[in-house]
Amino acid sequence: MPRKARQKDPAAVYHIMCRSNSELLLFRDNGDKDYFLRLIKRYLDKYHCSLYGYCLMDNHLHLHLDPKGYDVSKFMHCLNTAYVWYYNNKYTRHGHLFQDRFVSRMLLTDVHNLVVSAYIHNNPHDIKGYSGKEEMYEYSSYGIYLGISDDHYGIVDTSFIRSLFNLSDESKFADCYYSFVKGRREIAEKGKVFDSEETAFLFPLSVDYEYVSGRNVILRDKPIASVISFISEMFQMNQYTSLQTKCRQKLTSYRAITAYALRVLCNLSYKDICRHLYNITITSCSRLCKKGYDLIHSSSLYMQIFNELITNSVRTPRMLTVSPHSG
């Protein structure tokens, strides 16, 4: 029986959940969790995505992920494949680690994003010693939001959730966010079903809030020909004959940055990119994309070229909003 197609929207934020096979722990020690967070950092940077929150448990994980227009399936495939390779190599095993494919839910309103943020940060509630002290759990972003722990890997973007509260004072935001997360936990414990229209649950009644958009997305549907043409012009290369030439060392940078740009800005698979670079295998294409990423992050000139491509693709998405009640 065919799988149900995954719901996707280039403007959406996602709640992602991954679980290990029943007989395995997804993370056997803190070193595994640290490695997974480093992988998240790698792919957030590589594909220009954002993470609004996370919680890593022993047998499953939650991510509050904003792909910013990038294909969420490709992002998670890269992340999970890299982790499985690490895990199997470390523990001398082979085969599947994750239980089926990852679960994703599109979050198309500010209310849904707030509720999911609280849900993820309430996850440590059932861990011995963390009930009522969920913010102290080391492998959750909750403490980062409250300013009591550091974002050691630089992976959490708190600006979007903060913008929904419209509080510039950090201590006031921390107090309000803590009350909000705690309130959501109490609602869940009472078995109440959240109604997206009942925003009185979300905020203290004595405070007025105003919705402020804190997101931008990158349109990942740039015409392939325009990307190749722009890069070839910047490199002063012939966009057709140069891409077909793989033996001349001085053209490697041009090919690498072109491959990386097609991957990130056109949402192309490695197989698709091969059709445009010619005479290259999928494995070589993967390596070329990595080289392109490394070149862009090691050269201000290459970074400028890539940023010019991105600048013309950034848009502020329209999200459905619900105005909070105030007392």
Q: Which residues of the chain are in CATH 1.10.1750.10 domains?
A: 220-311
- The predicted pLDDT at position 192 comes to 54
At residue 242, the pLDDT reads: 58
The pLDDT > 90 percentage for the chain reads 63
Say whether pLDDT at 33 is over 50: yes
* 163 vs 165: CA distance, rounded Å: 5
- Residues of each domain in the chain carrying CATH 3.30.70.1290: 13-201
Spatial separation of the C-alpha atoms in residues 36 and 30, rounded to whole Å: 10
CATH code given to domain 13-201: 3.30.70.1290
For helices 170-189 and 110-121, the axis angle rounded to 10 degrees is: 80
Cα–Cα distance for residue pair 179/173, rounded to 1 Å = 10
Structure tokens at 55: 């919680």
Q: Is the pTM of this model over 0.95?
A: no
Mean pLDDT, residues 147-175 taken together: 94
Q: Judging by DSSP bridges, how do beta strands 60-66 and 13-19 pair with one another?
A: antiparallel
Q: What is the pLDDT of residue 241?
A: 57
Q: What pLDDT is recorded for position 217? A: 87
What mean pLDDT comes out for the span 252-278?
Answer: 92
> Which of the two residues, 80 and 222, has the higher pLDDT score?
80
Q: Between 29 and 241, where is the model more confident?
A: 29
Choice between 222 and 196, residue whose per-residue pLDDT is larger: 222
| Angle of the 252-265 helix axis to the 300-311 helix axis, nearest 10 | 30
What is the amino acid identity at position 178? Answer: Y
pLDDT score at 237: 74
Q: For residue 22, what pLDDT is reported?
A: 82
Which pLDDT band, with edges at 50, 70 and 90, does 3 fall under?
A: low
- And the tokens for 110? 């500010």
Q: Are 13 and 66 in contact (CB under 8 A)?
A: yes
Q: How confident is the model over 101-154, as pLDDT tens digits? A: 899 999 988 889 999 999 999 999 989 999 999 999 999 999 999 999 999 999
Lowest-confidence segment of 201-205, 224-228, 259-263 by average pLDDT: 201-205
Q: What is the pLDDT, as a whole number, of residue 185?
A: 85
Q: And the tokens for 229?
A: 């043409």
Q: DSSP per residue over 178-221, as a string?
A: HHHHHHHHHHHHTTPPP-TT-GGGTS-TT----------EE---
Specify the CATH architecture of the domain 220-311: Orthogonal Bundle (1.10)
Give yes or no for a contact between 163 and 190, defined as CB atoms under 8 angstroms apart: no
What is the C-alpha separation between 262 and 306, in angstroms, rounded?
11
| N residues, the chain | 327
Q: pLDDT per residue over 89-99, tens digit each?
A: 999 998 899 98
Cα–Cα distance, 215 to 50 (Å, whole number):
10
Q: Is-contact 34 114, C-beta < 8 A?
A: no
